[in-house]
A and B are shown apart, each in its own frame.
Chain A
Amino acid sequence: MNIGLDVGSTTLKCVAVDDCGEIVYKNYQRHFSQIASKSAQMLGDIIENHPEFASSGIAVSGSAGMGFAQELGLPFVQEVYASRIAVKKLLPDTDAVIELGGEDAKILFFTGGTEVRMNGSCAGGTGAFIDQMASLLGVGVEDMNALAEQSGKTYTIASRCGVFAKSDIQPLLNQGARKSDVAASIFKAVVNQTVAGLSQGREIKGNVVYLGGPLSFLPELRKSFDETLGLTGICPENSLYYVAIGAAFSPDSEKMSIKEIIDKIGSYESSAGYISCAPLFENEAQYREFTGRHAKDTVKTVDTIKPGEKLFLGIDAGSTTIKCAVINENREIVFQKYMSNSGNPVTAVRDFLTEFYEKNGDVKITSSAVTGYGEEIIRNAFGIDTGIVETIAHYTAAKHFRSDVDFIIDIGGQDIKCFKIRNGAIDNIFLNEACSSGCGSFLQTFAAAWDYNIADFAKLGLFADRPVDLGSRCTVFMNSSVKQAQKDGASIENISAGLSISVVKNALYKVIRASGADDLGQNIVVQGGTFLNDAVLRAFEKEIGRDVIRPDISGLMGAYGAAIYSMEHIKGESTCITREELKNFTHEVKAITCNGCPNHCRLTVNTFGNGKRFIGGNRCSKPVSGANGKETYNLYDYKKELLSKYKPVPGKRGKIGIPMGLNMYELLPFWHTFFTSLGFEVVTSPESTRDLYLLGQHTIPSDTVCYPAKLMHGHIEYLINEGIGNIFYPCMTYNIDEGLGDNNYNCPVVAYYPEVIRSNVRSDELNLIWDYVGIHRRKDFTPRIRAIISRRLGVVSAREIKSAVKAAYKEYDEYMSLIRAKGDEYLALAKEKNLPVIVLCGRPYHLDSEVNHGIDKLICECGAVLVTEDSISNKMSKFATNVLDQWTYQSRLYAAAKYIADSGDNMINLVQLVSFGCGTDAITTDEVRSILESKNRIYTQIKIDEITNLGAVKIRLRSLFAALEQE
């Protein structure tokens, strides 16, 4: 007689097992955080229908069960361990279990060394992730399954974090990808995340069992796992209840009176021991003063259009919502709409226009502009005259309310955009590329979890007496903090207020990283749908200690700004779709694969009734503009061209492999020459692709290391598959000393990644030469490398080594000087032709197009000349930095920044590429920024990871170029 209770993050599961091991009762419910009452109810059910359970063994398990069990003095069984108990009992032949829950993902290995793995700090690949994605698609979770069934193809979607996935999915939807394909792609992303994140080098094989909610309810998800793992797993009966069953069977369960437990739960009032912050409003009067103050910032709305009046249309096709505004010459709004885009911006805009024309008859739009994620597709679909970058749209609108605005913060559904205005130009843009926690959808998710609409939910918090202090943190973690606060007795009002405050804190401290109001500006305009919430607005004002302006059309600012912009930039006769044309509007979508280059981008081709086409999903302009358009000046291309010359030369000593990743990107000329001179045939791995990454994915031990390091696994696997057993990939604590910094280290990952390869990639077929080498001390290097080569690959003579080393250094120096000469050439050329120059700063391995996602090409397409940090860093000599300048590659960044700052030439600007998870860039980014800003230059940073979305990148680049134009 045993009862097991599984308190999950979102659901509650309970089973009762009789003495024969039969399950006589089971129940599964979403608990909406009413853990206590729901569990009391379930226990009551049991003893009512099965009186023999009045006194029985009981144990609690589940990710949210620990505190609950503690409070009630019930035995607790760790949930992964509980499912293990159940599987061992019910399915003893199992080799591995994959269990997905609300907020967790687990893999259990049974045979060949029992092991349990669970997701740590990341919610990618969990039920919550799937929920989030379903709401993004505007469907229920169950519908996702039906959709996935009909899919024809899958896209690559980053799965590591919901945020990244969103930024992959949104453009797909905006570009017209089919929902069914997206649904299937989401499942694939979950599979990849689980397999990559949790298997950590261990292969999943044999009898695999699928457990937990998502895998029980979504057969297509199971199918996707089957495909990837190359097996057929089973989803057993009661797959939802394994944790509860395990708790019931657990030896830890204790015999207790169930009635007493129910009574105890009834009187269970957890101590209100949570940390709180000050209430948003002390009293009604304060609130009235606040609302009164904000009621002043309004735009006049008029109902009628005078005959012959000029009209201007602005559309803001955002990631989750579409905002449209039509204004007259007095900048009064004559028609407006705020809609959810439900995954299809084209339909939403068509509906808007139809409604507009229906209401107003045959009016004519004088000029129109569109901004936002959906800019390109909307522009093509409806013949919109101008496309502008969001920042310009928002600035244009903000100026209308306050001409001397110097800081604008826009918090939308999934994105935060903030920027400073300096001398009338946009400067210093902050976007939330890595984190969605400060955004509106964050509040929305929580509101939905408690069955509230967002507006009502936020209102709850206005007069909360003790708002929960949730700090500033990732959405995923926020879930557990909220859980904890609930456990500690926080009311929903206080949680609501706490969430509003945390939205603000996230925006301020995570995205903007401000240390106070003066960091922002004097005249702040806030906008975006999220600020329509008084609680958020109040929290923002309190946090920065300054009054701000919130226009009443806060949610509409992008569209309003676009409309004003179109009025100020009339391009002649408007091409905007007319009422007649709209009636015949059609939209067709086709998915194809581009074969223009080895990237094989998945393209979506949208064809509209007006004969216009829009192609989305492309990484370069090739499929759009046909062949290579005009000539570009791209130093990335030049470097690649130089590197491609190092081809294998057959030699007497056989083949040696060099993986093309991390520091090998710079040292290839050195090692290629060195080994070729010794008579080795140097075989390199190809440029990275997604497939190459997947090849090595299962051997990555740390899921939070940077993407370039992760790619290394694929390169090694590739070489092994090519039959290259000897692979040269040495550890290098030190790099070449270029005399720019205080020391000449490599970062720890670059320095020691060979150790990770050595310990995690199959070793039977691999002779990895990982030895520690120091090319920074040339004289000492020669005898030492000779010892290593002789020991690992066969004896080489002192003379051979000497000439190989000499040739290697010479080649390396030549390679670097070629790059520098090209840099000079491009700088001179830019000056002559008066072209803007972007110094794309990063690391040598950012050359890899799988790492940089074609950002170099994007920059060149904007008409700029692209040079690299290493092509100009030599122009500087060592100077004093505010941080310890100890890494060779990183020193080049400071030098490049200093060069630009000192040049006084506003045509030369810096863009820094930052790999997600790069620890050293936490230090370099601040320093590079401060070097530039000390001379009033603009700093632009682009974060890159597995993501292929270039939306945010485009915003930054276009804003940068727009700022240059204004200057």
Chain B
Amino acid sequence: MNTENRVIFTKEMKKDYKILIPNMCEIHFELLLRVLRQHGYNAELLHTNGREIVDEGLKYVHNDTCYPALLVIGQLINALNSGKYDPHKTALLITQTGGGCRASNYIHLLRKALAKAGYEYVPVISLNLSGLEKNPGFKLKPSMLIKFLSCLIYGDLIMLLKNQVKPYEINEGETDALVERWITKLIRFFRTNRGCDYFSMKAILPRITRDFAAVPVNKTDKIKVGIVGEIYVKYSPLANNHLEDFLISQGCEPNVPGLMGFMFFKTDNRLEDIKLYGGKKLKKAVMKGLMWYMEKIENCIVSATKAYGDFTTPATYKHLRELIEPVMGYGCKMGEGWLLTAEMMELIENGYGNIVCAQPFGCLPNHIVGKGMVRKLREIYPDSNIVPIDYDPGATRVNQENRIKLMLAVAKENACAQDIKKFVS
């Protein structure tokens, strides 16, 4: 890999450069952004939408590359072209995971695209936890890392609660307003370095649940729909054509499993690698420690969800592991790996048997863990109702929504049949 010639993000740049970040999960990223700003980075999230983004992507990225890469790169280049920013005073930030999936190449594809578009001088910052690329102007301090982690935790809980309240709210907009309020509140905490350690999270998380439980709702029967998929398409409204909103508009209660599971999964993969293929003991110990800490926090979320109201609690990572055991090997780790299948199983068990599996067209891991497992899951759960939806520059919204509607029609019928069963017994 040729990394010597890349443009470094220097300490000087930190002073007056604007850092552009593509959006993925609204709530989580909104929090992450504030943390960055507090640490002195002039950062901005890109909320842009529209066909131009896809067109820019198509221009600068190989058209058969995954849709997320195409969109993220399209969005960033579109922003540089917009005239809103001075390209000579702008840096781009992109996450980098590593692993056997094509996704590990996003950052390199981005650099190639920048060069092609004449922006080869724009520095690209890699946000990763593996120490892949280093920049003197952008250092992940432990204090920042801890805040990042707590952003994910708060984000997961807020997203979970929002999705269980919003479809039933009596006063339209109340849930969204509460989400906003909590984001502001959390940022205020962060500013004074509060709210990020284990004990304050333990205290604050239930308060969030309390507030959401207090939103007046009308608990009608709604179709419960789970959303799983490739991580970017699953969360990003830009990629999935506002899937959550669409489902809510169709009278559904969506459930999108959070980001924590993915963090767990990626950490656990390293342990699993050592188990399956051998490896260093030290690495094993570090990872084990990390798992232990994450499990503790996870417990906080679970008990916080239970603290007030009657919310469906998120699955623990341990439970997901148990679920997948008879179906797939733990070694399946590229992309979302076995976690995606496990999330589907967990959703089904939790009453969200109607599932949209969102993936970029031609996504390699999804051939295995998404589409490849639908048949098996139907064998185990005959009532499950899973629809894989492909997202790519050519797919139209009409087509996607039509397929989702079919899934919903079957869901409604299943719901009716169950009502009758209940009534008879």
Contact A920 B62 (CB under 8 A): no
**Does chain B have a CB within 8 A of A201?**
yes
Chain A: interface size category: 35 or more
Closest to A734 in B: B277
Contact A748 B116 (CB under 8 A): no
Chain B: interface size category: 35 or more
Contact A920 B277 (CB under 8 A): no
Query: Given that A509-B63, A733-B331 are known contacts, is A121 also in contact with B278, CB under 8 Å in the complex?
Result: no
B391-413 CB mask vs A (1 if < 8 Å, else 0) is: 01111101101110110111001
Contact A759 B402 (CB under 8 A): no
A-B contact count (CB 8 A): 220
Contact B100 A733 (CB under 8 A): yes
Contact A923 B62 (CB under 8 A): yes
CB within 8 Å of A: which of B376-404?
376, 378, 382, 388-390, 392-396, 398-399, 401-403
Query: Given that A752-B332, A759-B373, A919-B102 are known contacts, is A113 also in contact with B2, CB under 8 Å in the complex?
Result: no
User: How near does chain A come to B390, taking the closest CB pair, in angstroms?
Assistant: 5
CB within 8 Å of B: which of A750-809?
751-753, 755-756, 759-760, 770-774, 776-777, 779-781, 784
- B64 contacts across to A, CB distance below 8 A: 919, 921-922
In Å, the complex CA distance between A756 and B1 comes to 32
CB within 8 Å of B: which of A872-903?
880-887
Contact A920 B102 (CB under 8 A): yes
Contact A881 B2 (CB under 8 A): yes
CB within 8 Å of A: which of B293-337?
327-335
CB within 8 Å of A: which of B1-47?
1-4
Query: Given that A772-B329, A923-B102 are known contacts, is A484 also in contact with B398, CB under 8 Å in the complex?
Result: yes
Contact B1 A885 (CB under 8 A): yes
In Å, the complex CA distance between A79 and B403 comes to 10
Contact of B394 among A114, A477, A705 (CB under 8 A): A477
Contact A81 B335 (CB under 8 A): no
Query: Given that A77-B409, A759-B327 are known contacts, is A748 also in contact with B334, CB under 8 Å in the complex?
Result: yes
User: How near does chain A come to B182, taking the closest CB pair, in angstroms?
Assistant: 35
Contact A477 B334 (CB under 8 A): no
**Does chain B have a CB within 8 A of A219?**
no
- A884 contacts across to B, CB distance below 8 A: 1, 104-105, 108
**Does chain A have a CB within 8 A of B136?**
no
Contact A705 B367 (CB under 8 A): yes
Query: Given that A774-B277, A776-B277 are known contacts, is A515 also in contact with B59, CB under 8 Å in the complex?
Result: yes
Contact A926 B62 (CB under 8 A): yes
**Does chain B have a CB within 8 A of A275?**
yes
Residue from A115, A705, A709, A755 having most chain B Cβ neighbours under 10 A: A755
Contact B410 A81 (CB under 8 A): yes
In Å, the complex CA distance between A922 and B108 comes to 13
Contact A749 B367 (CB under 8 A): yes
- B393 contacts across to A, CB distance below 8 A: 471-473
**Does chain B have a CB within 8 A of A110?**
no
User: How near does chain B come to A932, taking the closest CB pair, in angstroms?
Assistant: 16
Contact B1 A742 (CB under 8 A): yes
- A935 contacts across to B, CB distance below 8 A: none
Contact A883 B374 (CB under 8 A): no
CB within 8 Å of A: which of B108-127?
108-109, 111-112, 116-117
**Does chain B have a CB within 8 A of A206?**
no
In Å, the complex CA distance between A752 and B401 comes to 30
In Å, the complex CA distance between A747 and B104 comes to 12
Contact of A772 among B58, B276, B366 (CB under 8 A): B276
**Does chain A have a CB within 8 A of B368?**
yes
Query: Given that A742-B1, A882-B108 are known contacts, is A513 also in contact with B63, CB under 8 Å in the complex?
Result: yes
Contact B2 A882 (CB under 8 A): yes
User: How near does chain A come to B383, taking the closest CB pair, in angstroms?
Assistant: 8
Contact A469 B375 (CB under 8 A): no
Contact A922 B65 (CB under 8 A): yes
Contact of B58 among A116, A469, A509 (CB under 8 A): A509
Contact A480 B398 (CB under 8 A): yes
**Does chain A have a CB within 8 A of B371?**
yes
- A79 contacts across to B, CB distance below 8 A: 402
A894-931 CB mask vs B (1 if < 8 Å, else 0) is: 00000000000000000000000101111101100000
- A509 contacts across to B, CB distance below 8 A: 58-59, 63
B333-377 CB mask vs A (1 if < 8 Å, else 0) is: 111000000000000000000000000011111111101111110
**Does chain B have a CB within 8 A of A78?**
yes
In Å, the complex CA distance between A923 and B109 comes to 8
**Does chain B have a CB within 8 A of A120?**
yes
What are the nearest 10 A-B pairs in CB distance? A780-B278, A774-B277, A772-B331, A880-B2, A473-B394, A745-B100, A81-B409, A922-B64, A759-B376, A748-B364
- Could you jot down 17 A-B contacts, CB within 8 Å? A115-B378, A121-B390, A275-B51, A469-B51, A515-B60, A701-B371, A701-B375, A733-B100, A734-B277, A749-B364, A755-B332, A755-B372, A756-B368, A770-B329, A772-B276, A777-B278, A919-B362
